[in-house]
Structure 1
Amino acid sequence: MFAEQDPFNAYKATSLDARAAAANQHEMVRMLLDGLLEELARAEGHIHEKQFEAKGLSLQKCINIVHGLDSMLDLENGGEVATNLHRLYEYSSNQLLLASVKNDASELSAVVRVINDVRAGWENLN
């Protein structure tokens, strides 16, 4: 409840909404990748702290972001790049589920590596 009344959190949410509204598709993907990396770090912390409810919510956010990224792919016209990204997102989603079931933060490291590599690729588009 305190977080809902926190002016800084309200500012951050408004700022993120404004950035998302003004973003082109490439910027949106980068924002989603950054958000995914931040949420992965939170999920890891929840696993280490044995905060299982928070871990579940956090990993569900991660899975939702991965599915969102995957849904943005144009598999018909995107060629090999889109197909490879689809495979990476599918792998990441499976790893996230595995991490959740096993309550094992080490399962997240492969996802972090994949998403960092994808993020680096998107950076090179500019």
Structure 2
Amino acid sequence: MFGSRQTGVNAYAKVGMETGVVAASPHKLIVMLFDGAVVALNQALLSMRGNDIEAKGKSISKAIMIIDSGLRASLDKKAGGEIAEGLDSLYEYMSARLLTANLKNDTGIVEEVRRLLTELRDAWNAIGDTPAATGKHPLPTTLASA
């Protein structure tokens, strides 16, 4: 009559995620994309080790979609210049590597792409801690003491 407990938990998690997306800054949304891709790759690795070919394919496809339709699509090549061009090439490389990993069932390639995404996420998080990236600027000491 009321559904399973797991259904309720899943619905609650979905609402929490949707609320997080709506309230997130553009910087946080990129972090969420990195996190989503890493989670998908972690799931792909578990599926590969468990010989679950269908789940592996779905997880790798999800990671590729996040990389191509999320991270890569969000690049502003005009404003970002060489950095954006370099990231575009890196994202293209990651997607191609994941296709190869899926075809060859190669966990090493998945781990390589996961490492690259994690390093980029960590760098992105470090940028987010700066006042310029957050839009928060400390008050000058003369105003803070007034």
Instruction: Give the Cα separation in 1 of the matches to 2:106 and 2:4.
Output: 28
- For structure 1, which runs of at least 5 residues remain unmatched after alignment? none
- For structure 2, which runs of at least 5 residues remain unmatched after alignment? 130-146
Residue identity matched to 2:11: A
How large is the RMSD of aligned CA atoms in angstroms? Answer: 1.7
Q: What are the residue-to-residue correspondences of 1:56-67 with 2, within 5 Å?
A: 56-67=57-68
1:36-94, CA deviations, whole angstroms, 9 ceiling, x for partnerless residues? Answer: 11110000111111111111111110000001210000112211221121111111101
Question: Aligned to 2:106, which of 92, 96, 104?
Answer: 104
Helix, strand or coil for the counterpart of 1:6? helix
1:78-120, CA deviations, whole angstroms, 9 ceiling, x for partnerless residues? Answer: 1122112111111110111011000111111110111011101
Helix, strand or coil for the counterpart of 1:77? helix
Instruction: Give the Cα separation in 1 of the matches to 2:79 and 2:40.
Output: 30
Identity of aligned residues (%): 36
Instruction: Give the Cα separation in 2 of the matches to 1:7 and 1:42.
Output: 22
Count of paired positions: 125
TM-score by length of 2: 0.80
| Greater Rg over alpha carbons, structure | 2
